[in-house]
Amino acid sequence: MTLIETLASARPGSALAQAMEKRAEILRLSEAAHDAVLLPRDPGGLSHGIRAALAARMARHNRSPALASHYDTLVARADEPATAPLADPDANVPDPRVAEIVRHADRLTVAPRDATRAHVDALRDVGVTDADIVRLAELAAFVNYQVRVLAGLKLLGEMR
């Protein structure tokens, strides 16, 4: 069972469960994307812990507590204690590089249209590589996709 199926909590035999069965390939591909974005073999300058903490933070910004909880579990598994506070949108981040990454992740989540070249330049100014900027954008796109899929499935599940 994929993460989306687990979090959607469709009752066996329900219309929602049947709809998800018809889209099993999309759910499988979403799960593969999850692993590629959150747990890549080469995480570059965004460790698995940072990725998971940012994903949890993004889920919280989107009021998706079940998804945030999933990512909190990945933070704990990463065993990178310094990354855990990043999952809290109210946390103070003293490291300038990480703080800029967090600001950009927040921006891509709550106001993506406001992201500009100047924001990308600010990431570069604190030592974030272009590859890591792309990785961060992929993470934000994926988590926000998950949030929207789960919200849509919830609405479908509520329909009679």
Q: CA separation (Å) from 42 to 1, 137, 142, 149, 154?
A: 26, 16, 18, 27, 34
Token pair recorded at residue 27: 């759910």
Question: Mean pLDDT for each consecutive 10-residue tract of the chain (160 residues)?
Answer: 92 88 94 98 98 98 97 96 92 94 98 97 98 98 97 81
Distance CA 62, CA 68 (A): 9
* Residue numbers of the domain that contains 45: 3-159
Q: What is the pLDDT of residue 47?
A: 97
CATH number, domain of 40, equals 1.20.1290.10
Distance CA 149, CA 157 (A): 12
The total number of structural domains that make up the chain: 1
